[in-house]
């Protein structure tokens, strides 16, 4: 018989908190060590009780679950933290991942899912529900989609040479250095630059840099 998993439950809605506690009691190998209703309390209890895992609501009065996570993870990196949320919002998930959570599940998840989540997280892995994974992957997808535009670059009416110069200028390389790299004189570089500004309707190098970033010609 292996050691039970001690859990700290954090939610500012008593009914919800007790309800979840009741559900969890049905699962073998788990014991609710304590529960509280604020992030501040959670930080204190996490420190004194050293629970294996913390189940925490994300939206609470005062300190949010995310802020609390950051504090707790800083002091007790080994304590697993799963955030509970009424809704799957991009910002929450993102902030959660950033603050170091081990799992994130919506409150409408089944007990089975919760059990799986606890099990997974205690194994040292992360657990996210389908919906969240989908959200992150979709975001990844979109990021790629927009990011990939740097491959088949938009036709901005620039010639090949001008594009080369544009890129180097935007990188922050001096005209002389660009000339050296392209084996042309500074004057030629300057002329290309002028043409670029003309064609793109920009008025100086600063705007050119911004254009280059906006159009993914360079990365920041």
> For the chain, where are the alpha helices, taking DSSP H only?
14-25, 39-49, 65-75, 90-99, 111-122, 130-147, 160-171, 175-182, 186-200, 205-214
Neighbours of 93 (CB within 10 A): 22
Taking the C-alpha atoms of residue 14 and residue 191, their distance in angstroms, rounded to an integer, is 71
- The minimum distance between CB 138 and its own copies, in angstroms, equals 9
153 touches its own copies (CB under 8 A) = no
Taking the C-alpha atoms of residue 191 and residue 155, their distance in angstroms, rounded to an integer, is 20
The crossing angle, in degrees rounded to 10, of helices 65-75 and 39-49 is 20
Of 21 and 131, which CB lies nearer to its own copies in the complex structure? 131
Contact pick of 126, 190, 215, 216 for DNA (by CB under 7 A): 190
Contact pick of 28, 78, 112, 144 for its own copies (by CB under 8 A): 144
199 touches its own copies (CB under 8 A) = no
Considering only residues 171 to 190 of the shown chain, the ones binding its own copies according to CB under 8 A are 171-172, 174
Considering only residues 130 to 189 of the shown chain, the ones binding DNA according to CB under 7 A are 159-162, 169, 174-177, 179, 182, 184-188
Residues that bind DNA (CB under 7 A): 159-162, 169, 174-177, 179, 182, 184-188, 190-194, 197, 203-205
């Amino acid at each position: 018989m292996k050691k039970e998993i001690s859990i700290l439950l954090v939610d500012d809605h008593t009914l919800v908190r007790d309800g979840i506690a009741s559900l969890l009691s049905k699962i073998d190998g788990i014991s609710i060590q304590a529960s509280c209703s604020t992030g501040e309390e959670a930080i204190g209890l996490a420190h004194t009780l050293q629970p294996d895992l913390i189940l925490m609501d994300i939206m609470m009065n005062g300190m949010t679950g995310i802020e609390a996570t950051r504090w707790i993870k800083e002091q007790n990196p080994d304590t697993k933290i799963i955030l509970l949320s009424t809704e799957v919002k991009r910002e929450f998930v993102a902030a959660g991942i950033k603050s170091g959570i081990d799992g994130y599940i919506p409150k409408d998840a089944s007990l089975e899912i919760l059990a799986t989540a606890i099990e997974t997280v205690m194994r040292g892995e992360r657990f996210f529900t389908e919906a969240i994974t989908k959200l992150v992957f979709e975001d990844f997808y979109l990021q790629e989609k927009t990011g990939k535009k740097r491959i088949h670059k938009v036709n901005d009416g620039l010639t090949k040479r001008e594009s080369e110069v544009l890129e180097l200028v935007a990188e922050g390389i001096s005209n002389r250095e660009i000339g050296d790299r392209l084996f042309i004189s500074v004057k030629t570089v300057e002329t290309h630059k002028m043409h670029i500004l003309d064609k793109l309707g920009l008025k100086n190098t600063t705007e050119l840099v911004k254009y280059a970033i906006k159009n993914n010609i360079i990365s920041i």
